[in-house]
Structures are given as C-alpha cells and as structure tokens.
Chain A
Amino acid sequence: MLDGLPEKQCCITGVGQSEVGRPSPLNPIELTIDAVTKALDDAGLTLADIDGITNYPPKTDLGGGISPVGVGEAMFALGIDAKWIGSSTHEGPGHMSAIFQAVMAIATGLCRHVLVFRTVAQAQARVQSRGSTLLASGHSRVAGNNAWTVPFHAVSPVNLWALYAQAYFDKYGAGPEQLGWVAVNGRRNAAHNPNAIYTKPLTIEDYLASRMISTPLRLYDCDTHIDGATALIISARDTAKDLRNPPIHIEAMGMALGGLGQGIHTGDFTTLPATRAGEMLWQRTDLKPRDVSCAQIYDGFSIHTWLWLEALQMVKPGEAAAFMDGGTRIALDGELPMNTGGGQLSGGRFHGYGHTFEACTQLWGRGGGRQVKDAKVSVVCNGGYGYGALLLRAD
C-alpha cells in the first residue's frame, strides 16, 4: 500500500549548487543558470528533458534579495518548455512546498522531470542597504503578523527565536554550553565543504566569547546571508534507470503549518507545530528514526535544530540539548551526524535547499572529507513557521 504514495513515484536524479558568495560577482539569474546547468549535467539530462519547473518562494523585489528570481524569469532565461509550471508560494509548508508540488505533479503524470530551484542574493542586497529588510517597505505603519512584534522593536526573527531558546533553557536546565555545539559542529563540518562560506575553526570557547545578539542567542547562533542558488531535478521513478546517477528515493514527506505567520503561538515555546510534519513523515514509511544515517536539520538559528530534532522524533522532548552536548553524537563519526556540510550557520543561507543538496551529496557518497560512512538514509527538514520534512534513501 505504501508504494502508492505520491512521493514513492519520485526520485532525485541530479543536484547542482552555484558557487557561494558574500557577495557573489554573479547576478541572481546567472547564479540560477549555474546551479541548473550543474544539476542537469549531474543527472545526465538536457534542458529539453525538463518538462516541469517550480521554485520557492515567489520572486520579489522587496525583502533584501530573499527571492530575486522567479519561475517565469528562469523558465524563459533557460528556454525551458514546461508542461507543468508550479505556483511558488510563501504560504503552505515553507521551503519544501516547491518540492511537494513537484512530487504531486510527477505522481499525477503531468510531467516527468521537474526543475526545482531556490536562489538567494541577500549578500548583494546587504551591500546596498544594511537596514532591516522588514522596515525597508516604506510603509509608515506595520500590519499583519509583524504588527504583533515590530511595535515592540522586535524587527528581527532572532528576537522571536530567542524566546524559544530561553524557554527551552528554563524548562530543561540547558544553556549556551550545550547550544554552542550546534555552531561548533557546523563549522567543523564546513571545513570539509569547499562551497561553505565559513571554514575557519570555531571552538566552544570562541562561541561563548562571541557577541550577544538577543539573549541567549549569539552571533554564531545566526545563519549567514549569502548569494547562491541550488537546483534539484526530481524525476519520475521509472526514468531513473536511464540516467547517470543511482536514484535517491523520496521515501516519505511530511508537512505542517504553524500559526506564527498569523502571530499565533501554541504550547510553551519549547515545541513547534513541526511535530505534525514529523508524525506525517514516519506514518508514510516502514523506516524508523534509528535507520537514519545523517540528519540535515534546518538551522536558520541554532535553536531550530533542537526543536526540529525533537519534532522529527530523532530524540525525545527535552533531550536535544544533552544529545548535542560535547558535539560527539552529532559529529561525522557520531551516532547521528548532523548538518554534515556545515548547515546554514557555516555553509551559508541557501535557505533550506542547501540541506537537501547536502543529503544527496552524502547519499551519493560525494562528501569527501565530510562523507558519512555507509550513508543510506538522510532526514532533511526546513522551516520556522511552515514546516517540511523529507526522508531520502539510497538503494
């Protein structure tokens, strides 16, 4: 029965990532073309084979380079004759919404090979203006969910996630000595990733001495704006035998939407609605959390990894802090290697798509100095208010 699920009809057949820049000399569409070209070469496909296209999120000229290239621009710049065109959206389950849409388009027979891309140019935007992107809209008053935080000076998401970190510290008796290992582990792995933005060694002492941004979150708890693009080729399962790579199966997917975008928070600020994405994920597979070889966990802020790891049932509620303490269990040779390419904290903010790229890198055995031994299954998750998770599996 599980074979009938839409994601089981799909696999990832190629991935590509542009060179990371802070800032990049390439403009956003050139970054996109670079990533797409690499992904097609990787899969052994040409532009003529691509009959579906989507991205996350919609193109916008606002927001400091958060999405400078949309589906239409990429489709015509590349000359793709798509039968299925995705409607990228900020709504829904966040970053992976484009991947989930691609899966449904393939499973329903609308297309065979979908190009999914994510382009960011936040470092270039920062060169032009260092002000808060949230305040750059020009409106004199705030509306929507921002109205619940901005009048209290909380213009950065770090202020909101700091509340989660402090609540977690208070409830479970955790502290920066544990949280710091998220950053230290990422930096350790980034040293083996030629496309990571930060590779200089970082110790837990460096972390504890680093500048406070919004207590208890420090500089190294925050991810880094970059310019770059990631492209994934998602294909119908029956096409894979003719292609260059062994297929990476989409074993399961899970999604959820929290109320954060509406200013609504539930629970005691130590859990996320991502829990429902984790439940959905494991309901759709016979695999278990213990079968996971490595975990690519969203780390817009370090605290996300604790909350997500628990939401994905990789550890029990309240155990993430102890699990990461000392950094051995999440190390490359540990029981659950995490963010093996450096994550967003050290790899750069490819905005979720870097995590899926890294999972594929591991499952295809391309990790070089950061390769996890016998990596067969990787769990990937993205998001801080819309939540998406994938379980990827190699044969």
Chain B
Amino acid sequence: MSAARKLPVIDELSGFFWTSGADGRLRILRCGPCSHWQHPPQPRCAKCHSADLAPQPVSGRGRVVSFTVNYQSWQKDVAALFIFAVIELAEQAELYVFSNLTCAPEAARSDMAVEVIFEQQEDVWIPLFQPLGADHA
C-alpha cells in the first residue's frame, strides 16, 4: 500500500491533522470548555459553539465501524485493491475518521480493534490503521 496518494491541502483549519504524525501521534480538535472532540475540524464547537478549540493528542486506537475492499481501478498509478474504512476513535462515540486498513483484505472485519500508524509523503503524515497489536508494517 505504498502507492502515491493524492495529498490534501495543508490549510489553517485542518493542517494540524495531516502533519500530526510527525511525532508519531494523532491529534484531533477538542473543545476547551466542554471537552467535545470534533472531526472533521470546524471553526466552532458543534456542542457548545465555543471558538476555544485546539488540537490534542488521542490514543490512536479505535474500532472499525465499516469497511470496503475496492476492486475497481480508478487511477492509473494506484493499485485497485485497497481497504477504505471508517474508524470510530476510542475517545468518543461517533468520532469518525476515514482511512485505509493496512491488513490483508481477508483479515478486515467490522468492529475490529485498530491503531494508527503513519505514512509520510512530502509534508503530510497520512494516518492509516492496522489491527491492534500488529507488527509495525
């Protein structure tokens, strides 16, 4: 799964998410007053409307809510076979991030416990997820 990725813009609101892996930790925006975790980032807290939001490290652990194994080729330079998944981070219910699972397609399961690993490309650290406790790819 080392194919070239189409990278995200590093912008003011979300740039921290894409560079967070530089020190090996995933960060998510969190509200100061009410402690709500918010992803994707928004300029105000969805719960209390506070503007006092800042990135904070998370455990990097979560569970697979759903996944799909893609077989159709969409891009010339990307292998057709990949696992796209939505992961609920351990910190909060419905705190979802999209990612790829790095395990073999036949090993992927809904509800599987996973942990983050990072793949660096240019100035972006793409957060990917592997089964919890797997040997680092």
Chain A residues near B (Cβ < 8 Å): 131-132, 135, 140-143, 145, 147-156, 158-159, 162-164, 166-167, 170, 211-217, 262-269
User: What residue in chain B is nearest A170 (Cβ atoms)?
Assistant: B110
Contact of A263 among B40, B99, B126 (CB under 8 A): B40
A147 touches B9 (CB 8 A): yes
B110 touches A147 (CB 8 A): no
| CB-contacts of B61-85 with A (<8 A) | 65-72, 74-76, 78, 82, 84-85
A391 to chain B, nearest CB (A): 31
* B interface residues, how many (CB within 8 angstroms): 35
B49 to chain A, nearest CB (A): 16
Known contacts A135-B75, A141-B6, A147 near B14 by CB under 8 Å: yes
Contact of B74 among A143, A151, A153, A170 (CB under 8 A): A153
A to B CB contacts below 8 Å, 10 in the list? A140-B7, A152-B99, A153-B75, A154-B70, A212-B71, A214-B68, A215-B69, A216-B68, A263-B40, A269-B66
A275 to chain B, nearest CB (A): 16
B72 touches A152 (CB 8 A): no
- B8 interface residue (CB < 8 Å to A): yes
B71 touches A142 (CB 8 A): no
Given A135-B6, A143-B11, A156-B72, 9 extra CB contacts under 8 A: A131-B76, A141-B7, A143-B8, A153-B100, A166-B68, A211-B71, A213-B72, A214-B70, A215-B69
Contact of A151 among B8, B71, B111 (CB under 8 A): B8
Give Cα distance in the complex from A182 to B8, angstroms: 36
Give Cα distance in the complex from A141 to B126, angstroms: 14
B110 touches A166 (CB 8 A): yes
Give Cα distance in the complex from A132 to B75, angstroms: 7
B85 to chain A, nearest CB (A): 8
Contacts of B14 in A (CB 8 A): 147
A158 touches B72 (CB 8 A): yes
Contacts of B42 in A (CB 8 A): 262
Contacts of B85 in A (CB 8 A): 163
- Which 8 pairs of residues, A with B, have the shortest CB-CB distance? A162-B68, A147-B8, A167-B66, A163-B66, A143-B9, A263-B40, A215-B69, A154-B84
B66 touches A148 (CB 8 A): no
- B96 interface residue (CB < 8 Å to A): yes
Give Cα distance in the complex from A150 to B5, angstroms: 8
A287 to chain B, nearest CB (A): 34
- B124 interface residue (CB < 8 Å to A): yes
User: What residue in chain A is nearest B97 (Cβ atoms)?
Assistant: A148
User: What residue in chain A is nearest B108 (Cβ atoms)?
Assistant: A215
Contacts of A147 in B (CB 8 A): 8-9, 14
Most chain B CB within 10 A, of A159, A164, A216, A217, is at A159
Contacts of B75 in A (CB 8 A): 131-132, 135, 153, 155
Contacts of A135 in B (CB 8 A): 6, 74-75
Contacts of A167 in B (CB 8 A): 65-66, 110
Most chain A CB within 10 A, of B66, B76, B94, is at B66
User: What residue in chain B is nearest A259 (Cβ atoms)?
Assistant: B40
Give Cα distance in the complex from A159 to B9, angstroms: 21
Contacts of A267 in B (CB 8 A): 94
Contacts of B69 in A (CB 8 A): 212, 214-215
